Amino acid sequence: MIIQSVIQTYVYNQSGGVVTEPVNGNWLQAYCEYLGVTEPVNASWLQALCLHFGITQPLYGSWTIALANYYGITQPENGTWWYALSQAGGVVPPSVSFIWNENTNNWEAETRIWDTVTVAPTANFTSDITMVPEGGQVQYQDTSISQPASWSWTFEGGTPGTSTDQNPLITYDTIGQYDTSLEASNVIGSNLITKIDYIDTVSADVTITFELRTEWSLYWYYGGMQLEQEVTPGVWQALEYEGNPTWSNGATFYKVQPYVNAGGIPAGYSASNIMTFRSGDESGATDTQPIFRDIICPAGFNYRIVGVTWNTNQDPNYARFNRYTVLNGATVVLPQYDGEDVDWLTGNVQQTFTL
């Protein structure tokens, strides 16, 4: 009798006071018919009601507990789940999914399973970069599994040297290779992972020198080269070269300058980034004296050299910029390159290297 009474209260509350009489002595049948459900499932109006709400499995073997969990009720009252349900007047039914919990061998509300810690975590992490210039920062990302609740990081060579943040941001000021450790913990236990030489801190800037050689050409001002840095994967940014244009009067010409407008620079390019140069004499002989130009490059990035020409006819006799060597002090970054004239069409990648 008590159960029937609380079921009646539940039905009355959930129907907003519309259902005031049972059908065939059954309050759940009355509620189901109010909702448009006209047949029981497996002779059970309770199961029919659960299926109407999208509850497809019992919880702990009980459709009543599953219905209670649907409303967000996790504990019985006065010793019964129906009493707790009868108090749920005005509750808007949430959308709760039920999945199989292998730890309890029962169907449970999904949120309950995810909120249950049953094993110690397995520590792991990643970072946005592992090669960092002096004074640069590394953003770490915790990827530990099994719900860690706390984190203890150790950063060799980093500032700060330790952290309890889940995803710390660390600065590295000194060149070298450094270990990173993470211990992830929860109420069950902890796990430690150390990645040896994970961070490689390199010199912040490298000055590379272009040793430029080319045949003398009346059309040298129709094209040139541009050095680009891969600032993020697949995104390239041009770097400006250093040094003022030079010029030698007489029969021999040496010149490097940003750009001479002989037909218009290609869209998307900046004159200050393009090296146009000429050496040699009017006889066409290749000059033995190279022209040098410096570019400061942040270390730890990929670089590429691209051709730029604004000769609309794309005649290979224009823009003969096909000889260069790239140096880092006395170290050869790229040996002498003798490209074909036609390789210097706009956007064509000549060579790539990494600092």
Instruction: State the Cα–Cα distance between residues 229 and 235, nearest whole angstrom.
Output: 8
Among 306, 313, 294, 302, smallest CA distance to 337 is for: 306
Q: What is the CATH superfamily name and number for domain 125-202?
A: Immunoglobulins (2.60.40.10)
Task: Please count the other Cβ atoms lying within 10 Å of the Cβ belonging to residue 54.
Answer: 12
Start-end of CATH 2.60.40.10 domains in the chain = 125-202
The Cα–Cα gap between 192 and 121 comes to 9
What single letter denotes the amino acid at residue 235?
V
Q: Cα 237 to the chain's mean position, in Å? A: 20
Sign of the alpha-carbon torsion through 292, 294, 299, 305: negative
**Paired tokens of 74:** 């996790």
| Whole-angstrom distance, CA of residue 352 vs CA of residue 139 | 27
For residue 111, count other CB atoms closer than 10 A to its CB. Answer: 14
Provide φ and ψ at 85, rounded to 5°: -65, -35
Beta partners for 294? 209, 242
* Cβ–Cβ under 8 Å, residues 260 and 294: no
With contact defined as beta carbons under 8 Å apart, do 315 and 291 qualify? no
Cβ contact 150:140 at 8 Å: no
Q: Residue 322 and residue 342: Cα distance in Å, rounded?
A: 10
5-27: pLDDT as tens digits:
889 988 988 888 899 999 999 99
One DSSP character per residue, 147-186 reads ---EEEEEETTEESSEE-SSS-EEEE-SSEEEEEEEEEE-
User: What distance in Å separates the CA atoms of residue 96 and residue 102, rounded to the nearest whole number?
Assistant: 19
Identify the pLDDT of residue 41.
93
pTM of the model: 0.44
List the one residue out of 230, 226, 214, 207 whose CA is nearest residue 305. Answer: 226
- Give the dihedral of Cα atoms 108, 110, 113, 116; nearest 10 deg: -130
Low-confidence ranges of the chain (pLDDT < 70): 1-2, 89-99, 103-104, 106-118, 214-222, 242-264, 277-289, 310-322, 339-344
Main-chain phi, psi angles of 57, to 5 degrees: -140, 150
pLDDT at 182: 97
The per-residue pLDDT for 308 is 79
Per-residue model confidence (pLDDT) at position 258: 45
| CA nearest neighbour of 276 among 261, 289, 288 | 261
